[in-house]
C-alpha cells in the first residue's frame, strides 16, 4: 500500500489519537519548573559524573534540532486534517522541552553555556537528522525513538543531584511518553491494514535504529558515557523497547497472512532481537558483579 492510501485509511485513527492526546496532555509552563536565581560564584555547579553530563548535553541538543524533525514529518504526513494538526501540536510541545531544558541548564550551571551554544550552532547548521523514506518507516521509527527519548530523559532525571532537575526531566519524559503512545498505536492500526508492509518497515527500523543525537559533535563518546552510567544502553533498548513494544504490543510473532518477504523480515527481526538480548545480558554481567 502506498503512503497516500495508507494515510487516507488511517485518517480516522489519527483523528482519534489526536483527540486522545489532547485529553491526556496537561498544560505546563517552563518558568514554573526552573527557579531563577543567581549563578554560582564560579559560574558552574559542581561537576556531574561523565554519563549524566553527557546525557544532559545530548538531551538538550536533540530537542534543539527540532526544525529538521518537523521538516521530515511535515513532508511525509502533509499539512491537512489531523495529520497536519498533530505535526504542529507535536512541534509546539517539543519546542517547550528545549526551552525548559535550556533554562534548567543555564540556571543550574551544570554545563558550560558557551560549549553548549557552540554545539547547538554546529548541530543545527549541519542539518543531520534521521529521515524515514516512507510513512510506514516513520511510524515505526518515531514509536521507538519517542520511547527511547522518554527513558533517557527519565533516567537522566533520576541521576541528577537536585530535585529541580528531576522534576524537569520527569515532566519532559511524561510528554515524550504521550508522543510514543500516539505512534505506537498508529503502528498497531497500520498493522491491521497492511501487515506485510508494516512488518518490513519494523525490520528496517529495528535493525537500523539510531537515536536522533547522531548529528551531535562527539555523539559516539557521549553515547558510551551514557551507556556506562546505565541511563541508556543495549540492555535498556532490548528490555524496555524492543521486547515490550515490538514483540509484545505489536505481537510480531503472532501476525498472520504475511507475504513471503514479510515472513522473512519477521524471522530476521526476531533473530536480531534475540541476539541483542544475549549481547545485552553478557554486557550487564560485569556491571551486576560490581554492584554487589
User: Is the confidence at residue 18, as pLDDT, over 50?
Assistant: yes
Residue 23: exposed, middle, or buried by beta-carbon count in 10 A (0-12, 13-18, 19+)?
A: exposed
- Cell numbers for 194: 497492511
Of 165, 244, 159, 178, residue with least CA distance to 20 = 178
* pLDDT tens-digit map of 221-250: 999 999 999 999 999 999 999 999 999 999
Taking only the tens place, the pLDDT of each residue in 132-173 is: 889 999 999 999 999 999 999 999 999 998 999 999 999 999
The predicted structure's pLDDT at residue 129? 79
Query: pLDDT at residue 287 above 60?
Result: no
Read off the pLDDT of each residue in 244-263 and give the average, rounded to a whole number. 96
- The span from the CA of 238 to the CA of 229, in Å, is 17
CB 62 within 8 A of CB 216: yes
User: Which residue shows C-alpha cell 510480531?
Assistant: 252
Q: Which domain holds residue 164?
A: 3-36+44-232
The answer to which of 83-97, 118-132, 194-208, 217-231 has the lowest mean pLDDT is: 118-132
Residue 58 has pLDDT above 90, yes or no: yes
Mean pLDDT of the chain: 90
Check pLDDT > 90 for residue 180: yes
Q: Give CA angle at 131 (148, 28), nearest 5°.
A: 50
Q: What percent of the chain has pLDDT over 70?
A: 94
Instruction: Show the cell assigned to 157.
Output: 532525571
Domain count, the chain: 1
Residue 98 domain-assigned (yes or no): yes
Judge whether 172 lies within some domain. Answer: yes
Residue 43 has pLDDT above 70, yes or no: no
CATH number (domain holding residue 199): 1.10.620.20
pLDDT at 291: 35
12 within domain boundaries: yes
Percent of residues, the chain, with pLDDT higher than 90 = 72
Taking residues 95-123, report their average pLDDT: 91
Q: Note whether 30 and 100 are within 8 A (CB).
A: yes
Q: What is the pTM of this model?
A: 0.88
Cβ–Cβ contacts within 10 Å for residue 176, how many? Answer: 23
Cell 524537569 sits on residue: 168
The reply to whether 140 falls in a domain is yes
Q: Looking at the predicted structure, is the pLDDT value of residue 290 above 60?
A: no
238 inside domain:
no
Is residue 173, in this structure, part of any structural domain at all?
yes
Is the residue at 103 inside a domain?
Answer: yes
Q: Would residue 150 count as lying in a domain?
A: yes
Whether the Cβ atoms of residue 273 and residue 247 lie closer than 8 Å to each other: yes
Amino acid at each position: 500500500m502506498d503512503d497516500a492510501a495508507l494515510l487516507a485509511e488511517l485518517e480516522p485513527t489519527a483523528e482519534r489519537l489526536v483527540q486522545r492526546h489532547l485529553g491526556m496532555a496537561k498544560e505546563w509552563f517552563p518558568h514554573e519548573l526552573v527557579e531563577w536565581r543567581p549563578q554560582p560564584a564560579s559560574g558552574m555547579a559542581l561537576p556531574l559524573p561523565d554519563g549524566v553530563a553527557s546525557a544532559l548535553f545530548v538531551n538538550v541538543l536533540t530537542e534543539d534540532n527540532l526544525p529538521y524533525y518537523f521538516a521530515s514529518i511535515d513532508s511525509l504526513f502533509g499539512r491537512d486534517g489531523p495529520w497536519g494538526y498533530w505535526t504542529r501540536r507535536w512541534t509546539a510541545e517539543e519546542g517547550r522541552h528545549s526551552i525548559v531544558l535550556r533554562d534548567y541548564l543555564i540556571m543550574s550551571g551544570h554545563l558550560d553555556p558557551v560549549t553548549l551554544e557552540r554545539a547547538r550552532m554546529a548541530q543545527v547548521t549541519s542539518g543531520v537528522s534521521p529521515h524515514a523514506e516512507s510513512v510506514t518507516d516513520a511510524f515505526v521509527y518515531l514509536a521507538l525513538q519517542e520511547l527511547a527519548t522518554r527513558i533517557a530523559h527519565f533516567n537522566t532525571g533520576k541521576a541528577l543531584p537536585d530535585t529541580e532537575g528531576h522534576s524537569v526531566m520527569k515532566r519532559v519524559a511524561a510528554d515524550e511518553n504521550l508522543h510514543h503512545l500516539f505512534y505506537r498505536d498508529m503502528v498497531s492500526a497500520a498493522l491491521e491494514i497492511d501487515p506485510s508492509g508494516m512488518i518490513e518497515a519494523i525490520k528496517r527500523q529495528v535493525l537500523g535504529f539510531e537515536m536522533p543525537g547522531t548529528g551531535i559533535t562527539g555523539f559516539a563518546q557521549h553515547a558510551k558515557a551514557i551507556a556506562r552510567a546505565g541511563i541508556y544502553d543495549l540492555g535498556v533498548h532490548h528490555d524496555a523497547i524492543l521486547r515490550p513494544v515490538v514483540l509484545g504490543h505489536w505481537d510480531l510473532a503472532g501476525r498472520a497472512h504475511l507475504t513471503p518477504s514479510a515472513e522473512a523480515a519477521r524471522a530476521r527481526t526476531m533473530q536480531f532481537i534475540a541476539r541483542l538480548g544475549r549481547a545485552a545480558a553478557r554486557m550487564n554481567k560485569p556491571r551486576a558483579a560490581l554492584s554487589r
